[in-house]
Structure 1
Amino acid sequence: MNIPMQVVSFLSSRGLKLATAESCTAGQIASYLASVPGSGACLDVGFVSYSPSGKVGFLGVKESTMKQYGLTSEEVAREMAEGALRVEGCCADVVVSNTGLADSGPDGGPPPGTQCYAWSFRTRDLDIVTFSETRQFSGDRNDVRSAAALYALSRVEHYFNQLPSATGERHLRSTP
């Protein structure tokens, strides 16, 4: 079974809805899910916020966070995911976000292929629990974007299964 099909099956079996908050992948995470028959039952909404102004205006990312940590950071990815859960009209239980570089960036910045992720879950008591991690992928621009999108989906069930042990912690940084 392929990754998008596994995620749709997992979400559907638990009655969960997913939203995406994407930068580098530019909607590819949502697109992979939408390619699976039956995904309408579990795909809520997708945000593509490629620019800093989009991250601030639509997802509530703080400019100070972007300045302090850079656009390619777990801190920005977390604020993107949590911001999407707070958008009026978003009915998702989980948001997957990513921000990163598909190819070379500014000198002194992260290496090409660096992707930062966050997975935010709305708990039954309406708290938000967020996990984050950073990965690096190789290949050309579109290879990186595709691998990054599939990786984001591949970790949804993993982090969902860590929720019981995350009680009382709002942000969790994970190493695979």
Structure 2
Amino acid sequence: MISSTRAEIITIGDEILFGQIIDTNTQWIGTQLTDIGIRPTRKTSVGDNKQDILSAFTEASQRASVIIVTGGLGPTRDDITKHTFCEYFHTELEINQDALALVTSFFAKRGRVMTELNIQQAALPKNCTYIPNLWGTAPGMWFEKDNVVYVSLPGVPYEMKNLMEHEILPRLKARFSTTIIQHKSIRTIGIGESFLAEKIADWETALPEHIKLAYLPHFGQVRLRLTGTGTDQGILDRDLQAQVSAVTPLIEEFIFGYDLDELETVVGSLLKENNATLGTAESCTGGYVASRITSVSGSSQYFEGSVVSYSNAVKTNVLGVKKETLLEFGAVSEQTAREMAEGARKVLNTTFAIATTGIAGPDGGTPDKPVGTVWIACATPNETFTQLLSLRNDRKINIELTSSYALNLLRKTILKGNLIVQG
């Protein structure tokens, strides 16, 4: 087994723990470290408390060779990272003249007057290596102790990313002899995680030691992520692709893409390849399917529009759903979904149309049609396909799931070859 340099990421700030801001730094840093062959193994979020930060440093140093710290470098009293590093490394702050010159220039260029707090931004622990921040006033800091590298960066994403890209990543690559860490993802939909695991159990058991598998479920989809570690990029790419080729026949009916593919991009590509157009008729999803479709650049080449038929009046007056259908079967029914899709295809003059109608919740359910009951339909030049979904009691999740299943129904319909010249 090839060992990788291990890294931990520590984010500092009460605002993260209180949920007042979302920590996007860790995700980005983890990606960048992986790209240079350093394996992130743990993330820790700590409030503005010196003892908690000291404990986080000590614990991380026992597990990792690289510790990336973000946050707590501002000029106010609650920003205590520099003082904590001084205690951890048994040193004290002093004004770094290079840092002071950069901070002074920063304010001069903007015509602003420096305060004493701003000057203190240039006060750094004596034993750190100063990392100039050309994008803000809080310098980066680099420490080394017992073969562990500690990097302290501002929490502001723009500043942190620039420091990482231009200063920290090149230094880490020079400092450590790293391995190659490569990911390959298989994107599936329409099968649960446990059922998927059963289907590929023998294949998973036979994976070579340098390739690991992770199951990443999200809104009706499961991403199978293969992570390979090696020293030769070409060999690693070949090994990963061999495993993808080996597992594909076992689950081919559930695979919609690979790596960064999303359902909306896959569907868009299929529509362009077939010179086909699309429209939507949405009730319970309220336009969310159309939103996902139009989030793809170039979607105007194949997407004509959407009818958000939330009321029965719009279903009948715009889409042509029969009043008798609504009276006999109700708005949430296979018959209504079918007529919505067929009506949208006619009104919007498209090759395909997909429709959604259901009870998103949390209210509105009945014993016969509980919350989460959804019908979707896909109308083609030849016929119309429908599918019943039995989802959850969460409105947001139901809308997300319905949109995914509707897009997937369209994808499967196109792949079946349901295309003729419109007429």
Query: C-alpha separation between the residues in 2 aligned to 1:106 and 1:157?
Result: 30
Is 1:40 aligned to residue 294 of structure 2? no
Q: Which structure 2 segments of 5+ residues have no match?
A: 1-260
* RMSD (Å) for aligned C-alpha atoms: 1.8
1:143 pairs with 2:397: yes
SS for the counterpart of 1:149 is helix
Counterpart for residue 73 of structure 1: 333
- Name the CA distance, whole Å, in 1 between partners of 2:321 and 2:417: 24
Residue deviations 1:95-129 (CA, integer Å, cap 9, x gap): 0001000013243341111110110012xxxxx41
Other-structure match for 2:174: none
Task: Write the deviation string for residues 49-78 of structure 1: whole angstroms up to 9, x where unpaired.
Answer: 000111000000011101111111010000
SS of equivalent residue, structure 2 residue 276: coil
Q: Which has the larger radius of gyration?
A: 2
- Scaled by the length of structure 2, what TM-score is found? 0.36
| One of 101, 115, 120 as aligned partner of 2:359 | 101
Distance of 1:58 and 1:40 partners within structure 2: 22
* Residue 269 of structure 2: aligned partner: 9
Equivalent residue, structure 2, for 1:53: 313
Are the aligned partners of 2:329 and 2:336 in contact in 1 as well (CA < 8 Å)? yes
Paired positions, count: 159
* Secondary structure in 2 matching 1:7: helix
For residue 135 of structure 1, give the secondary structure of its aligned residue in structure 2: strand
91-100 or 155-164, larger mean C-alpha shift: 155-164
Amino acid at match of 2:265: M
Q: Which residue of 1 aligns with 2:378?
A: 119
Query: Residue 272 of structure 2 aligns to a residue in which SS?
Result: helix
- Aligned residue for 1:125? none
Amino acid at match of 2:409: R
Q: What residue identity is the alignment partner of 1:152?
A: A
Aligned residue type for 1:159: T
Alignment of structure 1 residues 14-25 onto 2, 5 Å:
14-25=274-285
Structure 1 residue runs of 5 or longer lacking an equivalent are: 123-127, 168-176
Aligned equivalent of 1:162: 416
Q: Which has the higher contact order (CA 8 A, sep 6+)?
A: 1
Distance of 1:145 and 1:20 partners within structure 2: 15
Residue in 1 that maps onto 2:383: 129
Contact map agreement 2:359 2:365 (CA 8 A) in 1:
no
How many percent identity over aligned positions?
34
> What corresponds to 2:323 in structure 1?
63
Normalised to the residue count of structure 1, the TM-score between the two structures is 0.84
Q: Tell me the distance in 1 between the aligned counterparts of 2:393 and 2:263.
A: 20
Q: Retained in 1: the 8 A contact 2:371–2:393?
A: no
Distance 1:163 1:71 in 2: 30
Deviation, 1:161, is 3.1
Provide the C-alpha distance between the structure 2 equivalents of 1:154 and 1:132, rounded to a whole number of angstroms: 12
Question: Does the CA-based 8 Å contact 2:268-2:302 persist in structure 1?
Answer: yes
The SS at the match of 2:383 is strand
- Name the SS of the counterpart of 2:380 in structure 1: strand
